[in-house]
A and B are shown apart, each in its own frame.
Chain A
């Protein structure tokens, strides 16, 4: 294990940011800390980096007790949401900063900076100032700067949060490929479940200062530990006392399967190839169902149609714990 956090507590005044958090982050993997804003995931990352101090508990990085080490001594690379560029330095100088602090020989620094700028595709911008770069380029520069000091772990705090949707998606794919090349233990914070599911090897779901579940994207999606994890990773609806995904409901216009719940289609929205239905059941529940356009057409569905709903075979189903929202 590369990072071990044990019994970590943190309060800001009366607000409990982290409560008895225990996390182990495996070496060489890309781990996502996923959760809603204000859930404590950024605080956890900042405590690992030494930018914040926990009230109690320990942080161990690569077998070294780092709990009382200052940020300067942790050998951790940190990437900030808003880039945190050194405005008055060129791109190359930004990347070289950590190496200059370590008093490396000049030609070694120049060589390493060259290498890193190539890695983040910024070679032709080395003499520009950060203000002349786009947001995505700035963040790549910040990443190169963090990697320059060969950190034992790389921490990214909502690294793509300030970018627009398209660049965000590009950088996300690029980060995945970069990690496959560099293999440094990486932890990134995100509130975007799609980002986490797509990029991470392992996901730690953090909510209200607690770790809700740890697992691979598939494990989390297929076997959510509780209602929160299930609803945070994707859409959830409730059918006959269980929670499940809207696309995991089978629909028929006749009561063919045992245990089918009868209802009427109250709303129908088509988005491209999928059709989203709201079905009012005879029990008084409002159930969301997603089916394909082809499927809907073959049944001749329209608002007011009577349908029977059953959970599909192999659907992820967990007992309903909270009231339907």
Chain B
């Protein structure tokens, strides 16, 4: 508990206190500021969208890794973790060189565009759901699926009523992580997105620029809003997960 307090609670409280210290007007002015609002919107919606993609693709990738046998499987297994291991700024460089200039080897140039933010989020959050679901899937006993089959359940029904409810806690946890990571992402997107106000500027960049302008209160205000949103999403996912698991 002390450990948890020192590492998590005290810094979080400090942020909120700093935000309040600046006074209510400063807080309100900061977050209703058009540029800030636009940054918050972009960050939250993109993170939500990316999380949605991960919720669908993550279990699929995990399924392939656990159930299928194919050439190069162990290589893929390692590759999944690369977005974890890579310093995010390096990830940003990689993305920039692939998708970010006129002579891109893939012929795609999305530098300074909103899809750049989406792509950067997607890249860094890919492993979360996969890695949460994989061990659960590995532990799922085959005879449970066979039992369902012998009771007359089709593959689809077995998946929907037996496999999915067992996976939802893991998917929800992965989704929460993926969303939180998306909201806080900085390194991988600063290069590719160009940080254009009202267009591709995300909240983490906004916070940094506030601090650089010596406006700590404004930075803390934005941070507090992000904190509240993240908390709400985590609670929401937990409720959702309980619902799905109970429906079984």
A residues adjacent to B (C-beta < 8 A): 49-51, 70-78, 80, 82, 84-89, 93, 97-98, 101-102, 142, 145-146, 148-149
Q: B141 within 8 Å of A by Cβ?
A: yes
Q: Once bound together, how far apart are the Cα atoms of A146 and B143, in whole Å? A: 14
- Tell me whether A78 and B146 are in contact in the complex, defined as CB-CB below 8 angstroms, given that A88-B245, A89-B248 are known contacts: yes
Give per-residue flags for B125-166: 1 if the beta carbon is below 8 A from chain A beta carbons, else 0: 000000000000000010110111111111001000110011
B residues adjacent to A (C-beta < 8 A): 141, 143-144, 146-154, 157, 161-162, 165-166, 245, 248
Cβ contacts under 8 Å, A82 to chain B: 141, 143
The answer to whether B149 and A72 touch across the interface, beta carbons within 8 angstroms, is: yes
The answer to whether B151 and A101 touch across the interface, beta carbons within 8 angstroms, is: yes
CB distance from B176 to the nearest CB of A (A): 20
The answer to whether B162 and A84 touch across the interface, beta carbons within 8 angstroms, is: no
Q: List 30 A-B contacts (CB under 8 A).
A: A50-B149, A50-B150, A51-B150, A71-B146, A72-B149, A72-B150, A72-B152, A73-B152, A74-B150, A75-B152, A78-B146, A78-B147, A80-B143, A82-B141, A84-B143, A84-B146, A86-B144, A86-B148, A87-B166, A88-B166, A88-B248, A89-B248, A97-B148, A97-B161, A98-B151, A101-B152, A101-B153, A102-B152, A146-B150, A146-B151
CB distance from B156 to the nearest CB of A (A): 11
- Tell me whether A80 and B248 are in contact in the complex, defined as CB-CB below 8 angstroms, given that A88-B165, A102-B152 are known contacts: no
The answer to whether A71 and B149 touch across the interface, beta carbons within 8 angstroms, is: yes
CB distance from B86 to the nearest CB of A (A): 37
Cβ contacts under 8 Å, A73 to chain B: 152
The answer to whether B248 and A84 touch across the interface, beta carbons within 8 angstroms, is: no
The answer to whether A85 and B152 touch across the interface, beta carbons within 8 angstroms, is: no
The answer to whether B162 and A86 touch across the interface, beta carbons within 8 angstroms, is: yes
The answer to whether A71 and B150 touch across the interface, beta carbons within 8 angstroms, is: yes
Starting from the known contacts A50-B149, A78-B150, A86-B147, 9 additional A-B residue pairs (CB-CB under 8 Å) come to A70-B149, A71-B146, A72-B154, A84-B146, A85-B144, A86-B144, A101-B153, A142-B147, A149-B152
Cβ contacts under 8 Å, A148 to chain B: 151
Q: Once bound together, how far apart are the Cα atoms of A93 and B146, in whole Å? A: 17
Q: Once bound together, how far apart are the Cα atoms of A97 and B150, in whole Å? A: 11
Considering only CB atoms, which chain A residue lies closest to B151 in the complex? A98
The answer to whether A72 and B153 touch across the interface, beta carbons within 8 angstroms, is: yes
The answer to whether A84 and B149 touch across the interface, beta carbons within 8 angstroms, is: no
Cβ contacts under 8 Å, B141 to chain A: 82, 84
Cβ contacts under 8 Å, B161 to chain A: 97
Q: Once bound together, how far apart are the Cα atoms of A50 and B248, in whole Å? A: 25
Cβ contacts under 8 Å, B147 to chain A: 78, 80, 84, 86, 142, 145
The answer to whether A51 and B149 touch across the interface, beta carbons within 8 angstroms, is: yes
The answer to whether A77 and B150 touch across the interface, beta carbons within 8 angstroms, is: yes
Lowest 10 A-B CB distances belong to which pairs? Answer: A98-B151, A84-B147, A84-B143, A78-B150, A71-B149, A80-B143, A88-B165, A101-B152, A88-B248, A84-B144
Cβ contacts under 8 Å, A142 to chain B: 147
CB distance from B69 to the nearest CB of A (A): 14
Q: Once bound together, how far apart are the Cα atoms of A85 and B162, in whole Å? A: 10
- Interface core residue of B141, B143, B151, B153 (most chain A CB under 10 Å): B151
Cβ contacts under 8 Å, B144 to chain A: 84-87
Cβ contacts under 8 Å, A75 to chain B: 152
- Tell me whether A49 and B245 are in contact in the complex, defined as CB-CB below 8 angstroms, given that A84-B141, A84-B144, A85-B144 are known contacts: no
Q: Once bound together, how far apart are the Cα atoms of A289 and B146, in whole Å? A: 47
CB distance from B10 to the nearest CB of A (A): 38
Q: Once bound together, how far apart are the Cα atoms of A77 and B146, in whole Å? A: 11
CB distance from A2 to the nearest CB of B (A): 17
Q: Once bound together, how far apart are the Cα atoms of A73 and B149, in whole Å? A: 9
Cβ contacts under 8 Å, B146 to chain A: 51, 71, 78, 80, 84
